[in-house]
Amino acid sequence: MGNNLNKDLSLALQNRRRGNTEYALKILLSAFEKDPADVYVKYNLAATFGDLGYFQRALELCEELVSVKFHNFHVFLVLGRARLGLGQTEGAMKAYQRAKKYNNSEPILCREIAQLTWMMTGDKKETLKVISEFELSNFKGPSLKVLEAEILGHIQEFRKQYDLLASLMLSFPDDRQLQYLYSRSALKNREFEEALSYSSLIYENNKSNSDVTIHHLNCLMACGEEKRAKNVVESALRLHPRNQHLIAIQAIIWRILDDSRYRQLYNYDLFVHQQPLTTPSGWTNLESYLTDLEDSLNDLHRFQSHPFSQSVRQGSQVSHINKFADKALRAYEQALKKNIIEYLNRAVGKDKASSLSPSVSSAWSVKLFENGHHTNHVHQEGWLSSVCHLTPTNSQGHNNQGCLKLGEPGFWTPRNVPAEKIIKPLRGHVVIFPSYMWHGTIPLIAPAERLTIAADIILKDDI
């Protein structure tokens, strides 16, 4: 590798670590053009493509590396992630197992295999069994048990998670990461005062960390401390003015305190629109496009359960669908953009809308099964959020099963804060709303499936 390539690679890695992934990709593509045979450039390009959801490109580059015998832990890890992103579950597991031969004490890989096992089987015992297959002696301190606790939370074994973390706290009482996880678990188990005592300690030393602040706010709200939470969220928004999760929490505080500013944010008539998806070019009518889109998505939904760290329960999720080469999937962004422009014209006026330059930052698909639902949540990084229903469920006689609900927060509070708006899914219709609006779904009761595409939209300017 020449000096120029070394500089390019170093600069790309710095930007990737800082989260400037798109810029890192540009640097790596330039380096790849200079020397397409360099295995280090090729590996880092594959990893960056994978980070951005270009799974097919990542897969092709990793397979080239494997073909020239460039075998190591990192190549097979990226290969496994690319195959998983493409729905190739068996291929993903084979790649992960090959990575494990190079390093069987890596927490990241243990988590990846556990998640894939959970997504493929939905079996709690099989998922937890993965941990025992790694080399325990190479894990330092409480790291392996912390990982086990994290996985217990992802598979909804909240009490077991809490008990495990409580026992670890006896041995490692000053471990900050452990204190944070313990506080989060206590909150999940409705041990509100215990959760707040630790969240307060952690928050005092990490006030600039938005995730720590959001957890602390959740603890304050669970304990009915809205006035304290009001001060905390106001300080946080001065540091993170575009964080939609913080805005969402502030809105609920305003609602509880009967602050008129709440209705300025949660103006459902103005800010929530349901309309037919625009038919993209290449199709003569919407129904023919929806049929092709359904076929493409159903081919990707090969999982039995949800991925870790997502709002979906009892369902399957496929990420980055706007990055796939499939014709119908690629056309979705084009179709949605016309709906977004129509939404903005109505919500903020044509003059303001013309300066906003909306674009889809991410898109994914969810298929809910029986008892499936989304927990109440917001989308922290977007400006607008959307969901298009492809296979809506007939809710008649089943308490609006599968319907979208808006306004009910995703945290505990002793106050009465129910959902304020219920939207019945309509085939081929897209619902657009601000990303700070709390939303979830009413669980499917009868045997049924609900297929959707969701997307986050970013704007060039402030509304």
Reported as a single tens digit per residue, the pLDDT across 300-315 is 999 989 999 888 888 8
304 domain residue, yes or no: yes
CA atoms of 73 and 259, how far apart (whole Å): 54
* Mean pLDDT lowest among 255-269, 300-314, 364-378, 387-401: 387-401
Residue 401: give its domain's CATH number. 2.60.120.620
Q: For tokens 């998640």, name the residue.
A: 115
Can you tell me which residue has the tokens 């109440």? 376
The percentage of the chain sitting over the pLDDT mark of 70, rounded to a whole number, equals 96
> Which of 212, 240, 261 is the endpoint of a domain?
261
The pLDDT tens digits for 321-342 are 999 989 999 999 999 999 999 9
The answer to whether residue 152 is domain-embedded is no
Give the Cα-Cα-Cα angle 460, 360, 88 (nearest 5 degrees): 150
What pLDDT, in 10s, does the model give residues 100-138? 999 988 889 999 999 999 999 999 999 999 988 886 656
Same domain, 399 and 363: yes
3-state helix, strand, coil in the chain (%, to 5): 55, 15, 30
Assigned domain for 291 exists: yes
Q: What is the DSSP letter of 377?
A: B
Give the pLDDT mean for 77-88: 95
* Contact (Cβ atoms closer than 8 angstroms) between residue 380 and residue 249: no
3-state SS record for 271-292: HCEEEECCCCCCCCCHHHHHHH
CA distance 302 to 88: 8
pLDDT of residue 461: 61
If asked whether residues 421 and 299 sit together in one domain, one would say yes
Is 190 inside any structural domain?
A: yes
Q: Is the pLDDT of residue 175 over 70?
A: yes
- Overall average pLDDT of the 163-178 stretch: 93
Cα(343)–Cα(87) distance, integer angstroms: 33
Indicate if 303 and 439 belong to the same structural domain: yes
What pLDDT, on the 0 to 100 scale, is given for residue 68? 95
At residue 120, the pLDDT reads 94
User: Does one domain contain both 352 and 376?
Assistant: yes
User: What is the per-residue pLDDT for 314?
Assistant: 84
Segments in 103-142 forming alpha helices (H): 107-121, 124-132
Residue 102: strand, helix, or coil: helix
Please tell me whether residues 218 and 290 are part of one structural domain: no
Backbone angles phi and psi of 454, in degrees to 5: -115, 155
The mean pLDDT value for 270-299 works out to 96
Alpha carbons 462 and 356: distance in angstroms, whole number: 7
Q: What pLDDT is attached to residue 137?
A: 57
Q: Are residues 190 and 312 in the same domain?
A: no
Can you give the CATH number for the domain in which 229 is found? 1.25.40.10
Please state the pTM of the whole predicted model: 0.91
What integer pLDDT is reported at residue 400 of this predicted model?
Answer: 84
Mean pLDDT of the chain: 92
CB atoms within 10 A of CB 194: 18
Of 58, 81, 103, the last residue of a domain is 103
Q: Tell me the percentage of the chain whose pLDDT exceeds 90.
A: 78
Domain assignment present for residue 132? The answer is no
The terminus-to-terminus CA distance of the chain in angstroms comes to 47
* Cα separation, 77 vs 390, whole angstroms: 33
Q: Is the pLDDT of residue 46 over 90?
A: yes
pLDDT bucket at 396, cuts 50 / 70 / 90: low
Integer Cα distance of 225 and 239 in angstroms? 22
Q: 394 or 236, which is more confident?
A: 236
Neighbours of 136 (CB within 10 A): 12
Q: What is the mean pLDDT of residues 419-434?
A: 96
Rounded CA separation 138/371 (Å): 40
The pLDDT score that the predictor gives to residue 115 is 95
φ and ψ at 305, to 5 degrees?
Answer: -150, 170
Q: Mean of the pLDDT values across residues 67-74?
A: 96
Residue 360 pLDDT: 92
337 and 454 part of one domain: yes
The verdict on 313 and 340 lying in the same domain is yes
Query: What is the pLDDT at residue 138?
Result: 61
Q: Is 47 within the bounds of a domain?
A: yes
Q: Using one digit for the tens of pLDDT, what is the confidence trace for 338-350?
A: 999 999 999 989 8
- Looking at the domain assignment, is residue 128 inside a domain? no
The values of phi and psi at residue 318, to 5°, are -120, 125
Is the same domain home to 27 and 72?
Answer: yes
pLDDT of 160 strictly over 70:
yes
pLDDT at 43: 95
19 near 49, Cβ under 8 Å? no
For the chain, state the CA radius of gyration: 23
> Could you tell me the residue range of the domain that residue 342 belongs to?
272-458
pLDDT of residue 2: 59
pLDDT at site 371:
84
57, 72, 103 - which closes a domain: 103
Q: What pLDDT, on the 0 to 100 scale, is given for residue 458?
A: 93
What is the DSSP pairing of strand 450-458 with strand 359-374? Answer: antiparallel
Q: What is the pLDDT of residue 401?
A: 86
The rounded distance, in Å, linking the Cα atoms of 141 and 440 is 38
244 and 300: one domain?
Answer: no
Question: What phi and psi, each to the nearest 5 degrees, are found at residue 241?
Answer: -65, -20
Cα 287 from Cα 114, distance rounded (Å): 39
Identify the pLDDT of residue 326.
93
User: DSSP string spanning 346-376?
Assistant: HHH-HHHHTTT--EEEEEEEEEEEEEEEE-S
The pLDDT score that the predictor gives to residue 412 is 96
Q: In whole angstroms, give the CA distance from residue 274 to residue 58.
A: 36
Please report the pLDDT score of residue 69 as a whole number. 95
- Tell me, yes or no, whether 252 and 291 share the same domain: no
pLDDT the model gives residue 397: 53
Count the domains in the chain.
3
Residue 449's pLDDT band, with cuts at 50, 70 and 90, is confident
Query: Is there a domain that residue 129 lies in?
Result: no
Contact (Cβ atoms closer than 8 angstroms) between residue 266 and residue 435: no
What pLDDT is stored for residue 48 in this prediction? Answer: 96
Query: Do 442 and 301 share a structural domain?
Result: yes
Kindly tell me if the per-residue pLDDT of 200 is higher than 70: yes
Among residues 261, 254, 200, the alpha carbon closest in space to that of 409 is found at 254
Give CA separation, 188 vs 13, 125, 180, 247, 376, in Å: 37, 21, 13, 22, 14
